[in-house]
Amino acid sequence: MKKQLSQIGLFIVVIVLFASCRTVDFQNRSSMSLNEFRLSRSDYKITPDASAQAEVKIILGGLIVKGLDDKNIKQARIESVWLGSADEQLAVYELLDKHPEWDYVTNVRFIKSYIQKPFSKTYKTKVIAKGIILNTK
């Protein structure tokens, strides 16, 4: 009887471990409303798509977080674009850090995925955007 119960218990533990491991991919596209001003095509240049990526690993429901340094947080915000999580803000910071010449960003897209394991979840966020460079001559 005990052997049968231990086999059933082992079977349940194996099912729970395999059921909690999964990978999910999804995309988020935010609209952006700029303050109104008039420009002609000769007043600005739109860059090709550029991207940056951030990765945050949460262990034991947030007790341990890897990828976020509380003492030296590197996050950025884009006006009129809702950045719902720290991994999105980190990805935007990386993008703006790579392209300091940009005055504005447009066509902002996020590609997010996460890998869930029994005691941890790893978020990978990629931000893709076009930059607008104003001619100041």
Rounded to two decimals, the pTM is: 0.62
Structural contact between residues 110 and 81, judged by C-beta atoms closer than 8 angstroms = no
Question: Which residue in this structure is represented by tokens 């990765």?
Answer: 55
Domain ranges of the chain: 22-32+39-134
Please name the helix (run of DSSP H) or strand (run of DSSP E) that holds residue 93, with its range, or none.
Answer: helix 86-98
Q: Which pLDDT does position 101 carry in this prediction? A: 92
CB atoms within 10 A of CB 76: 16
Residues across the chain: 137
Give pLDDT tens digits for 24-56: 666 666 555 656 667 677 788 899 999 999 888
